[in-house]
Amino acid sequence: GAGVSQSPSNKVTEKGKDVELRCDPISGHTALYWYRQSLGQGLEFLIYFQGNSAPDKSGLPSDRFSAERTGGSVSTLTIQRTQQEDSAVYLCASSLGEFRNWYQETQYFGPGTRLLVL
Amino acid sequence: AQKVTQAQTEISVVEKEDVTLDCVYETRDTTYYLFWYKQPPSGELVFLIRRNSFDEQNEISGRYSWNFQKSTSSFNFTITASQVVDSAVYFCALSELDSNYQLIWGAGTKLIIKP
């Protein structure tokens, strides 16, 4: 079946502009995660959704970052007033939600959105 | 503190050699999960294996094998008869109930397989 998809694949924007990144999880997956990976670095957790709810938003780097999920499916990560340090690959993952606790789940990743802020 | 250590930053071997990627973790929980992911140059993270803390059986999948040892808090990954297509960055990760909805990731090991 289809995996996690993300759009756009690449985004170049000017400093100060807003951007929206989209994630389509695997069909039927109830949990969704956003991560950020800067060049040559590890993964930085941003936010987790169970259904449409995000139990903890403390991973978002600043109040310029926001995320929402609608219909228990598609999620959008919005970055307002982008800064050069926001340049990174933004990865989305989803998991089935078959277990009682999130930490038992296997996360499946999308191809990422490469964001470059000039 | 929760921590995952992949001490090998980069490994370079010649094709057909066997190679082992090390992963050492720290946790106070008795129930946790360990994962390995592969990130080829294309950038997409590919899931390889998930292991829970109560299952210490080693696992083999084709040329890949995993050695989980709770006594040394290690979950090492071996590729037998390596191939150029195995070239990638490999990440080890830990999840447990108290890690606040996030996987705890190692820094990754870049594996280079030379023809």
pLDDT in tens, B44-70: 999 999 999 998 888 889 999 999 999
Asked whether residue A45 carries a pLDDT value surpassing 80, the answer given is: yes
| pLDDT tier, A58 (very low <50, low <70, confident <90, very high otherwise) | confident
Question: What residue of B is the nearest CA neighbor of A37?
Answer: B43
Compute the distance between CA of residue A48 and CA of residue A113 in angstroms, rounded to an integer: 17
Question: What residue of B is the nearest CA neighbor of A35?
Answer: B102
> Do A44 and A111 form a contact (C-beta atoms < 8 A)?
no
Report the alpha-carbon angle A42-B106-A29, nearest 5: 75
| pLDDT tier, A1 (very low <50, low <70, confident <90, very high otherwise) | low
Residue A67 near chain B (CB below 8 Å): no
Written as one letter, the residue type at A32 is L
| pLDDT tier, B2 (very low <50, low <70, confident <90, very high otherwise) | low
On chain B, the residues whose CB falls within 8 A of the CB of A33 are: 101-102
Task: Give the H/E segment covering residue B94.
Answer: strand B88-95
Q: Do A103 and B32 touch (CB under 8 A)?
A: yes
Q: Do B99 and A107 touch (CB under 8 A)?
A: no
Asked whether residue B1 carries a pLDDT value surpassing 60, the answer given is: no
On chain A, the residues whose CB falls within 8 A of the CB of B106 are: 42
Q: How far does A79 lie from chain B, in Å, by closest CA?
A: 21
Question: What residue of A is the nearest CA neighbor of B35?
Answer: A106
B104: exposed, middle or buried (Cβ count in 10 Å: 0-12, 13-18, 19+):
buried
What is the per-residue pLDDT for B63?
95
Question: Which of A105, A22, A110 has the alpha carbon at shortest distance from A69?
Answer: A22
Compute the distance between CA of residue B10 and CA of residue B8 in angstroms, rounded to an integer: 6
On chain B, the residues whose CB falls within 8 A of the CB of A56 are: 100-101
Asked whether residue A89 carries a pLDDT value surpassing 60, the answer given is: yes
Report the alpha-carbon angle A25-A26-A30, nearest 5: 70
> Do B21 and B77 form a contact (C-beta atoms < 8 A)?
yes
Written as one letter, the residue type at B84 is V
